[in-house]
Structure 1
Amino acid sequence: MSLATSARSETTKLFTTVMWWILALVLVVYVGMTAAGLGFVFSASATGALPGEGNGPQVPADGVAGVLYSIAASVGYVFPLLIGTLMVTAEFRHKTLTPTFLATPRRGTVLWAKAVVGVGIGAVYAVLAIIAAAGPAAGFLAGFGLDTDLASSDTWAMFGRIVLAFALWVLIGIGVGALVRNQVAAVVIVLAFTQFIEPIGRVAAAFVKGLDKVTQFLPGAASDALVGQSIYTSMGQSTGAAQLEWWAGGIVLLAYAVVLIVIGNYASWRRDVS
């Protein structure tokens, strides 16, 4: 079976299950609610409209739009990571991988097909996340009389980098799924790392001298660097923490994807399927 035929098969597998649209729905709700909440707080703070204004730090109006729009990636990146992981582990869990390998004996072709389809679903998730973040955020910015920056080429360049980041996150998820066959274990590892381990490490880097030079190479930090904006990088700028250039962030994120897929391919993907 050719790569194109295998990719069509993988597309059918993905879109005939409920997991892709359930994750997409949760992504939109999660990103949209976060963008709406922070959009109100940041916009009100930047215009001095918050109660008790003057008793705490005020958010600067310059650049606030970019930070709010970047919520699509800084909050939503876990969803393309999960869908990539589930694309592989679901086959092990439901034992559909045996007929897949019988139809396509070249296992590398199957993995490549998943990667091709994964890039596509990553782009779909990215567009949904951008709309979910930019819609309410731009609404609050405009409502408080602030510039939405939607006419800026820099904003649209950032949107393009978010699409790239989501595609890379799906590939990382595919690598994780190929390496960790057990679906529950893979999902737990993904959630534990993205929601606890890395965030704690990045916050600690603001207080431990020299730790930021290490945490900047973590996948989430690399993703934020690629996008060019995030709440984390805004905090880092205020503390002088080390940050990668956007192109370096993209290379680091790509390296994670390549290494995980290669290791997963040789360490687990080629093993016998029970």
Structure 2
Amino acid sequence: MTSLLAAIRSEFLKVFTTRVWWGLALILFVYVGFAAAGAALLFANIPGAAESSGAGAQATSEMLTQPGLIYGFATSIGYVFPVLLGALATTGEFRHQSLTPTFLANPNRGHVLVGKVLALTGVGALYGVIALAASVGLGGGALAISGIDPMLADPDTWALIGRAVLAMALWGAIGVGLGAVLPSQVGAIIVVLAFTQFVEPLLRLASSFSEVTASIGRFLPGAATDALVGPSFYSLMSAQQDALTWWQGGLVLLCIGVVVALIGYATTWRRDVT
């Protein structure tokens, strides 16, 4: 237990003594805040055209300006940041060969990896708070300016916020496992960006075309995140039916994180380092 606690403290220190974490955090805040506020202002103006477009435009506007959908930008587009930080925190050990002194100080490699997973889970939760400060603060402000209730007094809104923080925390853990599986820093960055920004959105859209593929597509990490947090623009576009419940979505993300970390431990993490 002592070596595990030491590993956790060491991993927190490694993260917060570099500029990477706050650089990504700043980009996360701007990216999510701009997207949430922009979407809120854009779709809040749809009723202006509803007089000539009929009730359909009004219904579409009401659906797209739901506060939960706006606040969900924190995870629907922001989850790439904790997974990227987790991957960088792990691949950086291989790139800079800092694993050698780490393993000399703490020979229990399992504790080192678990400590990194737990530390980046905590940092992922911090990223969740930052992303929600952007989506709720700027997106909710844009809704209020547009005359739409941001529903900050609704307990369901705060339940969504809590689940979003949990989702971002789990993505931080997944990033650590991914970095252990793909120790190449460049390779890990390419895989994270390609999968989260292109591959999975296309897979989710394609999986919605039949019941068989839809039943499989709901277990994709992004779909599981939407199930845990709430519907996003991705889930609306894919028109996914029979989605997972919130706890099932969280369990899928947890299982992905555990499996990827175990694969990384069984492969690259146990190899000799120089």
TM range (shorter): over 0.9
Aligned residue number for residue 247 of structure 1: 247
Aligned residue number for residue 269 of structure 1: 269
Q: CA deviation at 1:50?
A: 4.8
Q: Aligned with 1:49: secondary structure?
A: helix
Q: CA deviation at 1:60?
A: 4.2
Aligned residue number for residue 96 of structure 1: 98
Q: Distance in 2 between matches of 1:142 and 1:96?
A: 49
Q: Could you say which structure has the higher helix fraction?
A: 2
Aligned residue number for residue 54 of structure 1: 53
Aligned residue number for residue 25 of structure 1: 26
Q: Which residue, out of 119, 122, 128, partners 1:120?
A: 122
Judge which range, 199-208 or 261-270, deviates more.
199-208
Q: CA deviation at 1:229?
A: 2.5
Q: Which residue, out of 211, 217, 226, partners 2:219?
A: 217
Q: Deviations over 1:189-237 (max 9, x none)?
A: 111111111001112233345322111110111011000231123345x
Q: Aligned with 1:271: secondary structure?
A: coil
Checking the alignment, whether the CA contact within 8 Å between 2:44 and 2:61 is kept in structure 1 is: no
Q: CA deviation at 1:10?
A: 1.2
Q: Distance in 2 between matches of 1:123 and 1:252?
A: 17
Checking the alignment, whether the CA contact within 8 Å between 1:39 and 1:136 is kept in structure 2 is: no
Checking the alignment, whether the CA contact within 8 Å between 1:233 and 1:243 is kept in structure 2 is: no
Q: Distance in 2 between matches of 1:201 and 1:145?
A: 36
Q: Could you state the TM-score of these two structures normalised by the residue count of structure 1?
A: 0.93
Q: Distance in 2 between matches of 1:214 and 1:257?
A: 18
Q: Aligned with 2:157: secondary structure?
A: helix
Q: Counterparts of 1:69-108 in structure 2 under 5 Å?
A: 69-108=71-110
Task: Kindly report the root-mean-square deviation, in angstroms, between the aligned alpha carbons of the 2 structures.
Answer: 1.8
Checking the alignment, whether the CA contact within 8 Å between 2:132 and 2:161 is kept in structure 1 is: yes
Amino acid at match of 2:70: L
Q: Distance in 1 between matches of 2:33 and 2:49?
A: 21
Q: Distance in 1 between matches of 2:153 and 2:21?
A: 32
Judge which range, 242-251 or 58-67, deviates more.
58-67
Q: Distance in 1 between matches of 2:8 and 2:147?
A: 47
Q: Aligned with 1:151: secondary structure?
A: coil
Checking the alignment, whether the CA contact within 8 Å between 2:229 and 2:246 is kept in structure 1 is: yes
Q: Aligned with 1:149: secondary structure?
A: coil
Q: Deviations over 1:77-127 (max 9, x none)?
A: 000110111110011011111110111111011111111211210111000
Q: Could you state the TM-score of these two structures normalised by the residue count of structure 2?
A: 0.93
Q: Distance in 2 between matches of 1:162 and 1:247?
A: 12
How many residue pairs end up in the alignment? 270
Q: CA deviation at 1:240?
A: 5.6
Q: Distance in 2 between matches of 1:72 and 1:240?
A: 20
Q: Distance in 2 between matches of 1:210 and 1:41?
A: 35
Checking the alignment, whether the CA contact within 8 Å between 2:117 and 2:173 is kept in structure 1 is: yes
Gaps of 5+ in 1: none
Closer/same/farther in 2, CA of residues 60 and 100 from structure 1, 3 Å limit: same
Judge which range, 210-219 or 258-267, deviates more.
210-219
Amino acid at match of 1:49: G
Q: Deviations over 1:146-176 (max 9, x none)?
A: 1111111000001000111011101111110
Q: CA deviation at 1:38?
A: 0.5
